[in-house]
């Protein structure tokens, strides 16, 4: 009986920070060891899953700003956006922003830098394909016409706001964002139970969305979807939404590329330095026993 009880407790007791650090490091080694097809495919799934969170968030935000204070509307949008990371962590996928934690394995000498960069690049490409592919499906389904075309109007405003950000501001917002995203992933490693993992990621993810921080994988959906609406929506959409296409002149490919480059770099700095680097310094520096 004591053995059964001990086994049961082992399944629900959370990992302490030193154990989380060891788990994050080991996970980084395992992820980097996957073949290219697996990494890209997991990245496609990750991009699609984050896109579903973005879709949920966009719908939740539509009309909310007129019905409640700005801050509360953003909090609601952030809470439902957490669906994306929950799908990634529990459904079995990878996102570039979470994989930044591989820096811990590199810092410990368990991964060569080229293997880390290879994994990041393959997952980033997969994320882009998954997010843009999902955006295309959602556009073809004419989801932007829902809510008397207000769903599309919200998507356009979101996309233009992101594409209009100056490079430096997008970079800094990317740093702040991936600090929270990597902390969400870090907290998820504290538990072995799916329900616990879903719960602990919600607030960090809601916080970055509510605060308006920038996430590269989310933007791989938001901006392309806005571009698709701008380029392909019928005149009936613009009339129903009571919008002028000329009002979205700043939503273009140049803005999309600038945003993704700046936010990707910011996400790397936020996750690699402020989360992976700090926790490696605290808990993995100089350890060799588990290698």
pLDDT in tens, 88-132: 999 999 999 999 999 999 999 999 999 999 999 999 999 999 999
Regions of the chain with pLDDT less than 70: 1-13, 288-291
Name the nearest CA neighbour of 237 among 156, 159, 135, 144: 144
Burial bucket for residue 102 (CB in 10 Å: 0-12, 13-18, 19+):
buried
**Beta carbons of 109 and 285 less than 8 angstroms apart:** no
The pLDDT of residue 192 is: 87
Q: Which of 10, 155, 176, 147 is nearest to 67 (CA)?
A: 147
Check if CATH label 1.20.1080.10 holds for domain 34-283.
Answer: yes
3 state SS of 67? helix
Six-digit token pair at 286?
């100089």
Q: What is the largest CA-CA distance in the chain?
A: 72
Q: Which two tokens stand for residue 201?
A: 């990621």
Q: How many CB atoms lie within 10 A of CB 258?
A: 18
Give the SS3 label for residue 284.
Answer: coil
Question: How far is Cα 157 from Cα 226, in angstroms, rounded to an integer?
Answer: 8
Is the pTM for the entire model greater than 0.85?
yes
Write the pLDDT tens digit of every residue in 188-211. 999 989 999 999 999 999 999 999
Q: Distance (Å, rounded) from C-alpha 188 to C-alpha 290?
A: 22
Q: Give the length of the chain.
A: 291
Token pair in block for residue 148: 């008397």
- Look at phi and psi of residue 142 and say left if phi exceeds 0, alpha if psi is from -120 to 50, else beta: left
């Amino acid at each position: 009986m004591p053995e059964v009880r001990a086994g049961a407790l082992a399944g629900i007791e959370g990992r302490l920070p030193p154990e989380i650090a060891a788990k994050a490091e080991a996970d980084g080694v395992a992820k980097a060891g996957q073949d290219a097809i697996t990494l890209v495919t997991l990245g496609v799934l990750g991009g699609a899953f984050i896109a579903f969170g973005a879709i949920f968030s966009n719908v939740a935000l539509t009309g909310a700003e007129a019905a409640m204070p700005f801050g509360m509307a953003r909090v609601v949008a952030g809470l439902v956006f957490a669906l994306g990371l929950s799908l990634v962590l529990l459904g079995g996928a990878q996102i570039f922003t979470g994989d930044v934690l591989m820096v811990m394995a590199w810092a410990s000498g368990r991964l060569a830098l080229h293997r880390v960069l290879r994994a990041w690049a393959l997952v980033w490409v997969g994320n882009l394909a998954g997010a843009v592919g999902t955006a295309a499906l959602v556009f073809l389904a004419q989801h932007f016409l829902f809510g008397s075309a207000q769903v599309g109007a919200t998507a356009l405003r979101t996309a233009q706001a992101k594409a209009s950000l100056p490079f430096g501001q997008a970079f800094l917002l990317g740093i702040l964002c991936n600090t929270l995203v990597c902390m969400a992933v870090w907290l998820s490693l504290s538990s072995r139970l799916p329900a616990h993992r879903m719960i602990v990621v919600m607030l960090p993810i809601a916080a970055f969305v509510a605060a308006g921080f920038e996430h590269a994988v989310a933007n791989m959906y938001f901006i392309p979807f806005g571009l698709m609406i701008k380029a392909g929506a019928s005149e009936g959409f613009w009339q129903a939404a009571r919008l002028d296409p000329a009002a979205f002149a700043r939503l273009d490919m140049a803005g999309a590329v600038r945003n993704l480059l700046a936010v990707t770099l910011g996400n790397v700095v936020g996750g690699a330095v402020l989360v992976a680097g700090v926790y490696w310094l605290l808990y993995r520096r100089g350890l060799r026993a588990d290698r």
